[in-house]
């Protein structure tokens, strides 16, 4: 695939990820919507943490969107998603719809970054053949 197609596919995935984070997670927390506090309370979080978590989410998302800091933003967002997964596990949430949702978001986020960043593609290349298929001698 040509680099321009990869770049645009990555930009689209990045934009969709950012829109989802900003619209579904950051905005309700920073705007003080009752659903944010209610959701966090149902997961066992004490009252008053929604704004702080929203600021952290916003910071990670902005870092991810800026090309110079996108890798730092992706790593920070991965840590944040790991905490969300741990919270869902502790709360006894359903596996595929809640616990693994952070994994789905993380894969989508990293996929967007991988597609738009040639340096990351060089670091983590896509390989068509498995090592076993290459018949490389062992030892």
For 23-54, the pLDDT digits (tens) are 999 999 999 999 999 999 999 999 999 999 99
Q: Is residue 80 part of a domain?
A: yes
- Total domain count for the chain? 1
Helices and strands counted in the chain (H then E): 7, 0
Q: Is residue 118 part of a domain?
A: yes
Q: Is residue 86 part of a domain?
A: yes
Q: Is residue 57 part of a domain?
A: yes
Q: Is residue 139 part of a domain?
A: no
Q: 49 vs 32, 37, 39, 44, 93, CA distance in Å?
A: 11, 8, 11, 11, 20
Q: Is residue 129 part of a domain?
A: no
Q: Is residue 128 part of a domain?
A: no
Q: pLDDT tens for residues 77-120?
A: 999 999 999 999 999 999 999 999 999 999 999 999 999 999 99
Question: What's the whole-model pTM score?
Answer: 0.88
């Amino acid at each position: 695939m040509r680099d321009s197609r990869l770049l645009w596919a990555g930009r689209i995935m990045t934009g969709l990820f950012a829109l989802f984070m900003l619209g579904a997670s950051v905005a309700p927390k920073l705007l003080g919507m009752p659903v944010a506090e209610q959701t966090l309370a149902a997961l066992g979080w004490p009252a008053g943490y929604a704004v702080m978590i929203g600021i952290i989410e916003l910071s990670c998302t902005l870092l991810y969107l800026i090309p110079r800091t996108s890798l730092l933003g992706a790593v920070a967002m991965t840590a944040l998603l790991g905490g969300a997964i741990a919270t869902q596990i502790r709360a006894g949430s359903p596996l595929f719809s809640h616990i693994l949702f952070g994994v789905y978001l993380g894969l989508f986020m990293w996929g967007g970054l991988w597609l738009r960043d040639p340096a990351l593609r060089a670091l983590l290349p896509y390989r068509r053949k498995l090592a076993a298929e290459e018949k490389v001698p062992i030892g």
